[in-house]
Structure 1
Amino acid sequence: MIERYNLFLHEFSQEASKELQLFSIIAQSFFQPFSLMDNLLVIMTALTAGHGLGFNRAMLFLTDGDSLKGEFWLGPASAEEAESIWRVLSTPGIGYPEIIEHNRSLLTSETDTLTKRVKKLSYPLYKEQSLIPALTASARQMILVREARNEPAVDRRFVETIGADEFLCIPLLSQQEVLGEIILDNVITKLPISTRDLELASICGLFAGNYIYTAKLQKRIGDMKKVAAMGEMAMFVTHQLRNPLVTIGGFADQLLDPQTGEKKKKRNIQIIRSEIRRLEKILLRLSQFLRIDVREKVAVDVQDMLSVVQESVRAGIAGRRITLDTEIEAGLRVILCDPTHVGEAVRNVLDNAVDAVGDEGHIDLRAYRENAEWAVIAVQDTGKGIPEAVKDKIFDSFVSTKEKGMGLGLAYVKRVVDACGGRIEVKSAEGKGTTFKLYFQTQPRERGTKP
C-alpha cells in the first residue's frame, strides 16, 4: 500500500506542536513567489503572532554597506492599540494568511508610528566601541538585554526608542556575512523572555538570514545576466538595424540622382516607408522587452483582458481560414499579475500560434482553474510545431523559429510570467501543433501548492 501526502501541509494534526506549525509555515513561504520583504514579514509575524512565539513586538534592521539601518517595526505602539489588534486577531477562523495580510496592511498604514521611528535609526557596524544594537550584529551573537536603562552597553537613543527594559537581539547571518538583526520584546504583557523563547527565536533568525542571503545571490545572478545580455543586445540591435538602414540609404541616394525617373522615385519612397515601418516594429519590440518591471502583482480581470486580446487577434486573421475558439471558466474572475504586460504576453503567444498554422488551421484559447490557488491560460494550435533543435531554447533572447523573427516574443512572455511568479509549460509535436500553458496565481496566499 502506498500513501501520498502533499509536501505543503495546509492543516496539522492536533498532536503537532506549535513549533512544528510555526516552522512549517515559514518554510512553505519560501516556495512562494514573494518578495524579500514579504518573506521577512512572514517570519516577523511568526515571531509575534499568538499562534507562534507570541512576542509583543519585532523590530527589523538590515545592513546597508557598513551600516545597520532600521527597516520596519511590527507590533502595537501602546496597550490600547495592542488590545484592539489582539481582539481582531483572536477572531475564530483567523489563521496565518489572514494575520500576515493584517500585518502587511498595518505596515503600509499612515498610522504606523513604530516603523517611522525605527527608520530613523542607523548605526555603524564596525566601530571599536559598538553599542547594542550594533554590537549584536558585529559580534555575531544573540544578546538578551535586561534592565536596559541601567546597561551602559546599550545605546541611549535606542533605549528611548524601544521603550522596553528587556529585549532580545538576534543577528541575521549567513556564510559569515552579517545581513541584519531582529529585536524582540514583550513591552505590553511584561512577560519575561524564557530560554525556550530564545531557542525558537534563534531558529527563526537562521531562516531569515539564509533567506536574505539567497535573495541577494539571486539579485547578483540577475545583474550578471543583465550585463551578459547587454553584449548580446548590442550585437542584435546592430544586426537588426543595419539591413533596413542600408536599404533606406541606398534608395535615398537614388532619389537624389537626377537620372532617376518619377516611377522609380515613387517605388523607392514606398520601399523606404516600408523599411521605416520595419524599424518602428523592431524598436517597439525592443522597448517592450526592456521595460518589463513588475513592481507589484495586482488583480487582473481575466474575462476583460482576454476579450480585448482575442478581438485584436480575430481582426488580424479576418479573411483567412483560421478559426479561434475561446473558453473561459465561469468561476475564474481574476489572476494576479501585471496589468500592463500580461495581455501583451498572451497576445504574443497567440500571434505565434497564428504564424504556426499559416493560412489554415485552428487555435484554442482557454482559461481555467488548475486548483484553488493557480489559474491557467492555455493556447493550443494545429500548426507546424516546434523543431526539436530549438525546443529547449525558445525562451532565450534572440532565438526564433521564424525566418524573419526577432527572437524576443517568447523571451518577453517568459520574463512577464516569471515576474508575476508563475511558470510556463510547453508541449509540441512537429506537424501536429503546440500548446502553451501560462500559470498565474489567483489569490495572495502565504502557503499553497506550486503548479
Structure 2
Amino acid sequence: MFVRKKHSDLPRIFSPWVVIGSSLILFVIVTVLTVMNINRQRAATSTVLLEKGQALIKALEAGSRIGMRGRFAQGIRLSHLLEETAKLPGVDFIVVTNPEGGIIASNDFDRIGATFLPGHGDRVVPSEHPQWFMDKGADGASLFVVYSEFRPIMKAGFREHAQTMRERFLAFCPARPSPPPMHGGVVHPEKMFIYLGLKATSMEDAQKSDLMHSVVMSCIVLFVGLAGFISLFWAQNLRVSQRLLSDSRAFASEVVANLPEGLVVMGPDGEVSFGNESAVALCAPETTTSGNAAQTDTLMIPEEIRPVIDRLETERVVTEQEIVCTFEHDREIPLGVSGARIITEDGRFLGKIIILRDLREVRRLQQEVKRKEKLAAIGSLAAGVAHEIRNPLSSIKGFATLFRARFEPESTEHGAAEIMIHEVDRLNRVVTELIEYARPSRIAARDTDLGTMINHSLSLIQQDVQRAGVRVETDIPEDISPVFLDPDRMQQCLLNVYLNAVQAMPQGGILRVEGFRAPDGRFGMRISDTGKGIPAQDLPKIFDPYYTTKNRGTGLGLAMVLKIVEAHDGEIKVVSKEGEGTVITIILPQKGGSARQVT
C-alpha cells in the first residue's frame, strides 16, 4: 500500500496575476517617487546655485558703486574686480555685456570687446530678476550660468551727483566709446547685462549621488514590497493548506473511526499503534469503544490472523481470507481478513494495516437465503405431491367407508376399515397443511384490538389446556391497541405456538401470553411456557419445514408461524433452555401493507 500525495488546486485569494499586477503598480509608484525626488533635489540644488550667483552679482554691483565713490577707485577697472571675484571657488567666468552681447568687462581681459553667446548658441534676454541656464565650459565641464541686468549706478534721486557718478563709472570701466545719455532721471551709461558662470560639478556630483541613493532606495522598497506580496501570498497559501490539512485529518479520522470494518494499524516493530471502534469492538469487547489510540493496548489480535500478518513481511498486499477467529470467552466469529504494507513514495516502510470484516451477518443472510430456497423447493414439491395424493386418498376413503358398512361393528374387518378411514383423514390433513404452506401468504391487515384477538385465540385451545392441566396467564396493556395486522392469519400463528407450548408441558405448567410496546414504536407478543424446553442443537432447525421431535406431527407448524410473521414484516425470536421452558417473542411493525404476499 502506497501513501501518495493528493494534488489539488488550493483556493487562493492572491493569484500569481494579482502578485504580478501589484508588483507592476508598486514599480510604477516607486519610479514616479524616485523621479520626483530627483527633480526635487535638482530644483533645490539649482535654487542654491541661483542664490549664490545672485549674491555674487549683488556683491559685484555693490563693489562697483563703492569703487566709484571713493578716490581709491581711480586706476581700478571693473575687469580687475571681476577677475578677483572669479577666483572664488566654484566660479568659472564673469562677463558684463551690452544689449548687443558685446563684452564690456570680463575676468578674462582677452575677451573684452568680443561678443558673448551661450554655448547653445541662442541669445538670452536678461531681466531684473536673476535667471539661469546650463552651458558648457571651454574644458567641456557643465556650467550653471546665472544672468540678469547689471546695475552698478544709483537712481536719479541724487542728481547733483549723477554726473560725477557717470564720470567715475567711465573711469572705473575700461576705455569705451562715448558715454550713454541719461534718461528718466536715471544714469544709464548703457544698459548692461552680467553673466556669472558657476561650476556645476558639485551639483552634478550631488545629483548623481542623489540618483544613486534614490535608485538604491527604490530597489530596496521594490524588493521589500515584492517580498511582502510574496510573503502574503505564501502565508495565505499556508493558511489554506493548514486548513485543508486539518479538514482532511478530521475527515479521515471520522471515516476511519466509523468504518463498519475493523481497522488495525501496526508499526514497523509489529506492535499495534491504532485500532478503530469496530476493531476495538471485535478484539476488546469489554472496553469502551471510542476508537482512541489509548485503547490499543487492549486489542488482542487472534492467533488465527498471525499467518496473514506474517505474509505481509514478504508480500505487499494480502487479499481477503475467511477465517474463524476465537476471542475471549470462547467466542467464535467468522472474519474476512485482508492486509497491506504501508510504504511511502520514497520506499520507506511505515507498518502494516489489517482490515477485519465481521462476517456474522453475511453468514446469517446466507443461511437465510439457503433456508428460503429450501422452503421454496419444498413448497413447490409439496404442492405437486399433494395434488397427486389427494385423488387416490379420496378413493381409498370411499372404499374404506364401504367396507366398514358391510361388516359388523364388533368385527375385526370393521375395525380395520375404521383405521383406514382415520389414516386417510390424517394423510388428508397433512396434504392440506402442505398445500397451505406452499400457497402464498396474502395478508389483509387492519386495525385490531390485540387483547380481543389473543383472548379469542386462547379460547380455541381451552380443551387442550384443561386436558394437560396447564394454567393460562395473560398480560395485555390496554394502551397497546389498536394494532395493525391480519387477525385471522395471526390467530393461526398463535394457535401453532400455543399447541407446541401445551404439548411441551404434559405434566402441566404455566402458559403466559404478554403484549408489549417496543422502544422503537413496534408492538409485540411474548408467549412463554414452563415446559421441557428445546435442546440447543435443535434451536437453529425448529423453523425448518418437516423438522419435528414429536412422534406424531408434520413439522410444519413453526414453519407456518415464521411464514406468517415474515408476511407482516415482523421478526420472531426464540429463547429456550432445556428443562426450564421456552420464550417465543413476536415483534411486528405498527403499520404495514394492507395486502402483502409472501411465498
Question: Under TM normalisation by the shorter chain, which class is it?
Answer: 0.3 to 0.5
The structure number with the bigger radius of gyration is: 2
Higher relative contact order (CA 8 A, sep 6+): 1
